[in-house]
Chains A and B, each alone.
Chain A
Amino acid sequence: MKEQVASQVSVHINGVTVNVEEGTTLLQAASSAGIEIPTLCWAENLTPVNACRLCVVEQQGSRALIPSCSRVCEDGAQIQTDSERVRLSRKMVLEFLTSTNDLSQSPDLVAWSEMYEVDTERYKAPAKIEDQIKIEDDLFVRAYDKCVLCYKCVEACGDDAQHTFAIAIAGRGFDARVSTEYEVPLPESACVYCGNCVGVCPTNALQFKTEFDLRDAKDWRPTEQEITETVCSYCGVGCSLELHTQDNQIVKVTSPSDHSVTSGHLCIKGRFGWQYVHAPEFKPREIP
């Protein structure tokens, strides 16, 4: 009995007492109590990097705000997820990002910006990230004017999923960018085109070429798209696929991030090897 008690901690979030297992993050605890905290660089299938600071909360006794995505619940902690200080920090993070990047394809960020009353008018001639779009192949494009440097793609390419390490953060400060070595084009880099970076990107800085082309033709209609779950047919691993279709054509392929086999990550075949589905109708060769 004693051991069971020892492995439980209780935290007080916005006055509500939440009992959780030791090792639970504040974000998980808040979520279990139905309290929403916005996140940008956090994902359930990646190691927290604590870079965006959108999920900060106020812990009594702590001088600075703390990132709820990675901070573990301390027994008896008093947490405020929506205090004035917290709201100001979130508003400022959102103002900073909105004044720097094109976030028009990030519905979450657009909604939060409204919620936190973001006012970018007060920034006069702010420096922006206006990098040219990189189109280097038929599989995906990189539009770094939308990149908020959340590190998710770097993690998915590296230790958290693919272990290919084709991209890393280069440069420093405001000039930091996601990059290959010496900015060589992806086809010349170590990239294996698994597309897992695209799968985790929260701002559409990385997007599938199919989506990019449809958006370019003003024909990208996400609300009309259907999702069909299936299992990848290429090998015996059994990766779960979600086929996103528009007008009965596959427009992109994802995998659920809570799937026990994939954790949301795929290989080049599952991710991109679906063109055969749309090949002209198969006609069996006549046997003479």
Chain B
Amino acid sequence: MADLQFGDALPDAKEMEIVDAFVGETVVVWEGERVVRSGVTRRREQRHLLLPGLHLLQNSQGWISPGGLNYLAELLQVPPAEAYGVATFYDLFETEKPSAPGPQNHICVDAACAIAGSDDLISEIQAAGQRVHKSPCLGQCERAPAIFIQGVGTPDQVPADADGFSHPQRGDSSLRLLKRFGVADPLSIESYLSNGGYAALTRALDIGADAVLNTLEASGLSGRGGAAFPTGTKWRAVAEESSQSKHVVANADESEPGTFKDRLIMENDPFAIIEAMTIAGVTTGSKRGWIYVRGEYPLATHRLNHAIERSRSSGYLGSRICGSEYSFDIEVRRGAGAYICGEETALFNSIEGRRGEPRNKPPFPTTSGLFGEPTVINNPETLINVLEILNGGVDAYRSLGTERSPGTKLFCLSGHIQFPGLYEVPFGVSLGNLLETAGGVVGDLQAILMGGAAGRFVGPEKLDLPLTLEDAAANETTLGSGAIMVFSTDVNMLDITRRLAQFFRDESCGQCVPCRIGTVRQHEVLLQIKKEGPDKAQRELLDDISAVMSDASICGLGHTAASAIQSALDLGLLPQGAS
């Protein structure tokens, strides 16, 4: 490729120091003969450092200056226009100097936090003279209203993390996925080992890859991110790829409004994710693992990094793990505020140092994933299920749940519920029972949003719904990511649907026309609806917008950007007068 041209903007001494320390330290190993010979190889090898480099600049200066960006882009051989395109893609990066110094307060304005009074919190912080950014869901719905403080020269922090974790199902001996929560010390590998840790990896190494795949397939485990793709099938597809280089990616960019399960897994049982990823590595023949964790999750990031170091120093990561022939290691990458990066191919682009725009599928990640190579990608909840299956066996695993939805499921309860929090129940428990487990509805139940913003509402008549994949589908709803948001009759549902529409308008990546413009038009119509409800023309327009987004968008964001709103209309949750 041609020599790149960079502008005249120069970095200051601090920006140079930070970028030098980071890029120098990280890629000096690539400065071999190959680098000198091949510019393209060099560019590809280093570009994935763009996102972490931008994080460092942002944290140091409070914004990404033209000089800082130029310097980083030149070292990484990324065209400056593309680096700017990446920097402007993410909510956590500023490309204009902030109007005031000091940290940025991100305050969630999505449903659960709005109910809990995020407006008051915003006024309070603004009155104190601090900066505020109205944020989409921050994944702390169980302790709403949520705040995430993005530091300038200081670490990012979530004040609520200081309160520690209280387990609503503490002492319940039937727990599987949450059994170590509040029991094992998440900072101690010894504690993890004495609570059953690394037994599944030992077993996987004993029985071999094929037996692991057979076990997973027999277990019926399916992905817990919403799509419910069979995990065993996914792993086998990657195992059968002949590529020399394959990857295992943990999709921990949980951003679906109302969802916080993966954050709590990472904070309370980080070693479990690392163990499960290592099993995926040895089973599929992948040597490199990546955890893409939400940028707004500083505690989870810290605990994962700590757990990786401890696992490595104890021989569970690195070369010849546990004395076997296998090598596997993991890097953590932080997202930077973009819901779309939870879409698996957008996530790959984000790690690669590109804009988090989804790719067309096919090809699928199992053949062409991260860096175009075969990739297993699962979320933390799916991963820790693998440990249960290998430790207890298929029959024990299937002893809970149903034939098509075996095992247990994590649900995130928020909104008008007595004890918001994370709950583990066997598939098949009724929606009403789950709400009772969490102390019951506060006030009179109006509606429940299942599966987050991309999910669907159900009314009080569905409390008998058994929580399984098959029953949800048959009842035209979804379990999605396991988010369950409860709304009492105190809530104006028109406000809720407007906020949902605003969420998709803000989070659309802008790549395809149906979603880029459709999410805006949908929001506009909802804002124009009068208090007596949508008129005939408005309803028709909303239906047409929904049809094109769901039929013709590139990815799942566009496909589901109208689903919750359509279900609210269908259930009569909005006023009906004008039609």
Residue positions of A touching B, CB distance < 8 A: 50-54, 56, 64-65, 67, 70, 85, 88-89, 92-93, 96-97, 99-100, 122-127, 148-149, 158, 163-176, 179-182, 184, 188-190
Contact = CB atoms under 8 A, between A and B. Distances in A.
B151 interface: no
A124 B524 contact: yes
A168 B513 contact: no
Counting from the closest, the 6 A-B pairs by CB-CB distance are A165-B79, A176-B510, A92-B548, A96-B517, A168-B85, A190-B5
B20 to A, nearest CB: 21
Contact of A93 (B8, B338, B513): B513
Task: Among A96, A164, A170, A172, find the residue whose CB has the most chain B CB atoms closer than 10 A.
Answer: A172
Interface of B: 1-2, 4-9, 66, 69-70, 79-85, 88-89, 95, 338, 355, 360, 505-514, 516-521, 524, 528, 537, 541, 544-545, 547-548, 550-554, 559
A181 B89 contact: no
A172 B88 contact: yes
A96 B84 contact: no
Given A168-B82, A190-B80, A88 B508 contact: no
Contacts of B514: 53, 89, 92-93, 96
A189 B517 contact: no
A179 B517 contact: no
A70 B360 CA distance: 9
Nearest to B89: A172
21 contacts: A52-B512, A65-B551, A70-B360, A85-B551, A92-B518, A96-B513, A97-B513, A122-B537, A122-B541, A123-B541, A126-B524, A168-B85, A169-B510, A170-B88, A170-B89, A172-B510, A174-B510, A176-B509, A176-B511, A176-B516, A190-B6
B519 A51 contact: no
A146 B84 CA distance: 22
B547 A89 contact: yes
Give chain B's interface secondary structure class.
Answer: helix
Contacts of A124: 524, 528
Contact of A64 (B85, B517, B524, B550): B550
B80 A181 contact: yes
Contacts of B559: 64
A184 B85 CA distance: 13
Contacts of A56: 551-552
Contact of A53 (B85, B510, B512): B512
B89 to A, nearest CB: 5
A172 B89 CA distance: 5
A149 B357 CA distance: 14
A182 B528 CA distance: 35
B507 to A, nearest CB: 7
Task: Among B66, B70, B521, find the residue whose CB has the most chain A CB atoms closer than 10 A.
Answer: B521
A50 B360 contact: yes
B95 A64 contact: no
B519 A173 contact: yes
A173 B89 CA distance: 9
A183 to B, nearest CB: 9
Nearest to B515: A173
Task: Among B1, B8, B85, find the residue whose CB has the most chain A CB atoms closer than 10 A.
Answer: B85
A123 B524 contact: yes
Contacts of B537: 122
Contact of B552 (A53, A170, A175, A188): A53
A92 B547 contact: yes
A51 B355 CA distance: 14
Contact of A181 (B83, B508, B509): B83
A181 B84 contact: yes
Contacts of B516: 149, 173-174, 176
A156 to B, nearest CB: 14
Contacts of A181: 7, 66, 69-70, 80-81, 83-84
A52 B510 CA distance: 11
A65 B547 CA distance: 11
Given A97-B517, A165-B4, A181-B7, A50 B554 contact: yes
Contacts of B517: 96-97, 99-100, 174
A20 B1 CA distance: 35
Nearest to B559: A64
Given A53-B552, A100-B517, A184 B545 contact: no
A65 B514 CA distance: 12
Contacts of B518: 92, 96
A173 B513 contact: no
A88 B80 contact: no
B505 A173 contact: yes
B328 to A, nearest CB: 33
Given A50-B554, A92-B548, A170 B84 contact: yes
Given A56-B551, A97-B517, A170 B510 contact: no
A207 B14 CA distance: 42
Contacts of A89: 514, 547-548, 551-552
Given A181-B84, A190-B4, 7 more contacts: A53-B512, A88-B547, A127-B524, A170-B81, A173-B507, A179-B84, A181-B80
B66 A182 contact: yes
A51 B510 CA distance: 9
Contact of A67 (B66, B360, B511): B360
B550 A172 contact: no
Contacts of B5: 164, 166, 189-190
A202 B395 CA distance: 60
A117 B255 CA distance: 38
A127 B520 CA distance: 8
A172 B338 contact: yes
A56 B514 CA distance: 11
Task: Among B7, B510, B554, find the residue whose CB has the most chain A CB atoms closer than 10 A.
Answer: B510
A82 to B, nearest CB: 14
A188 B5 CA distance: 10
A92 B551 CA distance: 11
A97 to B, nearest CB: 6
B81 A166 contact: yes
A70 B8 CA distance: 40
B505 A179 contact: no
B513 A52 contact: yes
Contacts of B553: 53, 64
A168 B552 contact: no
A54 B66 CA distance: 37
A97 B2 CA distance: 35
A102 B521 CA distance: 17
Contacts of A180: 81, 84
A234 B351 CA distance: 44
Nearest to A183: B84
Given A97-B517, A174-B517, A190-B5, A169 B85 contact: yes
Contacts of B548: 88-89, 92-93, 96
Contacts of B83: 181
A163 B537 CA distance: 48
A85 B537 CA distance: 19
Contacts of B513: 51-54, 93, 96-97, 148-149
Contacts of B7: 181-182, 184, 188-189
